Amino acid sequence: MELFSGAFLLSLLNIIFIDLILAGDNAIVIGLAARNLPASQQKKAIIYGTGGAVAIRILATVVVLELLKIPLLLAIGGILLIWIAYKLLTDEGDHSDIKAGGTLWAAIRTIIVADAAMGLDNVIAVAGAAKGHLLLVVLGLMVSVPIVVWGSTIFIKLTNRFPWIIYFGSGILAYTASNMITEEKRLEPLFDQPVIRYVFIVLVIASVLLAGYMKQRKQEQRKQSHDHSYS
């Protein structure tokens, strides 16, 4: 992949979108961790905490990029990413266990630790989309992190107002996941024919979106019946 070629820029856009679609929870964590600080310290906590989280994420992605070179781990990463794409559609996002930091350093530590714990999905997805190019990972984070930190509330409102954005993001994750599986060297003979490869990719995307939609419907029905029982 040539630097700044069409394929490079397309992969970069893919990574930026993955960062954004998976960063909603992380943005909420940042806000929760810094909420008890004075206004003068909140900005510092967000900047330093996010900076530390990004550094750890880049290191983790470097490790995952290397691990994906081990036979069959690319396919395993792809299977994990299919589950992540499904969870994106069905996760109810409970953050009640995130404690607000009482001091600047406590808030920074909470942001870094929580982001590291929650960032595995992002690391696997970005590593799969980067196809071995660390520069894509770094550039993607450089573009998406400021958007997440400063525009997180806007992005979260957009996803709430336009649910199709989440479905689109889940579809991109499912595509990245199925692509990882088809590019696994040990499985290449199964996907020799382009038709088989494309049919597999379409089936994975369709299955994830349908399963996620069905699960969402069940969650909504359960919530409605629960609300009626208390009314």
Whether 18 is covered by a domain: the verdict is yes
**Per-residue confidence (pLDDT) for residue 206, from 0 to 100:** 96
Report yes or no on 163 lying in a domain.
yes
Residue 100 reports pLDDT greater than 80: no
230, part of any domain: no
pLDDT for the residue 149:
67
Q: Among 91-105, 133-147, 174-188, which range has the highest average pLDDT?
A: 174-188
Q: Assess contact for 143 and 80: CB atoms under 8 A.
A: no
In this prediction, residue 1 has a pLDDT band, given cuts at 50, 70 and 90, of: low
Q: Does residue 91 surpass a pLDDT of 80?
A: no
pLDDT digits (tens, 9 = 90+) for 9-67: 888 888 888 877 776 666 666 766 777 778 778 778 878 887 887 888 888 888 888 88
pLDDT digits (tens, 9 = 90+) for 122-180: 788 888 888 778 888 888 877 777 766 665 556 666 777 888 888 988 999 899 999 98
Provide the whole-model pTM: 0.76
> 174 phi and psi, to 5 degrees?
-65, -40
Residue 228 domain flag: no
The confidence score (pLDDT) of residue 95 equals: 52
Query: What is the number of structural domains in the chain?
Result: 1
Say how far apart CA 171 and CA 186 lie, in whole Å. 25
In a domain, 95, yes or no: yes
Within-domain flag for 229: no
Rounded to whole angstroms, the Cα distance separating 49 from 199 reads 43
Q: According to DSSP H, which parts of the chain are helical?
A: 6-21, 24-34, 39-67, 73-90, 104-118, 120-130, 134-161, 164-182, 194-230
Residue-number span of the structural domain to which 199 is assigned: 6-223
Q: How far apart are CA 182 and CA 28, in angstroms?
A: 34
| Segment holding 23, helix H or strand E | none
CA 136 – CA 185 distance, rounded (Å): 22
pLDDT digits (tens, 9 = 90+) for 205-223: 999 999 999 988 888 888 7
- Region 68-96 average pLDDT: 81
Residue 124 lies in a domain: yes
Asked if the structure places residue 45 within a domain, the reply is yes
